[in-house]
Amino acid sequence: MSKHIDNDTLKQALSVYFISGTTNVNRPLPNVLTEAISGGITLFQFREKGSGCLTNKAKRDMAEKLFQVCKDHQIGFIINDDVELAIAMNADGIHIGQKDAGASITRKMIGENMILGVSVHTIEEAKQAVADGADYLGVGPIFQTNSKQDAEEVCGPERIMDMRKSGINLPIVAIGGITVEKTPEIKRAGADGVSIISAIASAPSPSYAANQFKEIMKD
């Protein structure tokens, strides 16, 4: 993925955004990722968190494997939280939350040629992230989620609509408890994409699950 990405290309890339770490799957993550790519995901985030997650060299080795799978299929590779690792690997981007390093300091560290995604829950946080140089916003949790223990309270798709009405035009991807059934409502609310952990990672067929999301998002 070209690092210096324009809004339209990024909006396309955000449409079916698979997020996973090794603790979200019960078989090798590179295999699950390959299947999800064959089903039509458009972007991948490596989010290695929670008890039993990989650390240090094991985490770096897994990140390199996953990055290679993404490169082999021209899919962007985003790292969650770990700015140093993203820079060390020259990943396509980094995603940070409100409790991580600030967006403006992160932008200074990564420069202009890496994608910066920022989690936001309120319109104020969204406006600050835009001012700090974010390329896209992760808005949520839209619905109840089991994938993030310290999630904010559920905000519903109307939060995305409110952000659009308040003039936030940056690419937005919805996150939090997203299923195929809920995706049309999220699209109508103004999201450019949906980000999915368990609905793909835990699916009997990640490829089939990814394709269901792709079919809805492509119209």
Which parts are annotated binding residues for Mg(2+)?
A: 81, 100
Q: Is 17 in the site for ligand FQP (CB under 6 A)?
A: yes
Among 11, 59, 95, 107, binds ligand FQP (CB under 6 A): 95
Q: Which residues pair with 195 in a beta bridge?
A: 17, 175
3-state helix, strand, coil in the chain (%, to 5): 40, 15, 40
Q: How many residues does the chain have?
A: 219
Q: Is 49 in the site for ligand FQP (CB under 6 A)?
A: yes
Query: Residues 164-193, buried b or exposed e (16+ Cβ, 10 A)?
Result: eeeebebbbbbbbbbeeebbebbbebbbbb
Residue of closest CB approach to Mg ion = 97
Amino acid at 181: E
Among 11, 46, 47, 212, binds ligand FQP (CB under 6 A): 47
Residue 175 CB, shortest distance to Mg ion, in Å, is: 11
For residue 25, what is the enclosing H or E element? Answer: none
Q: Is 80 in the site for ligand FQP (CB under 6 A)?
A: yes
CA 201 to chain centre: 14
Q: Where in 90-149 is the site for Mg ion (CB under 5 A)? A: 97, 100
Q: Which residues pair with 43 in a beta bridge?
A: 17, 76
Q: Where in 170-199 is the site for ligand FQP (CB under 6 A)? A: 173, 175, 195
Q: Are residues 209 and 199 in contact, defined by beta-carbon separation less than 8 angstroms?
A: yes
Identify what 125 binds: ligand FQP, Mg ion, none; CB under 5 to 8 Å per kind: none
Q: Which is nearer to ligand FQP, 39 or 117 (CB)?
A: 117
Identify what 212 binds: Mg ion, ligand FQP, none; CB under 5 to 8 Å per kind: none
Enumerate the active-site residues: 47, 119, 148
Distance CA 38, CA 15 (A): 15
Binding interface with ligand FQP (CB under 6 A)? 17, 19, 45, 47, 49, 80-81, 95-97, 100, 117, 119, 138, 148, 173, 175, 195
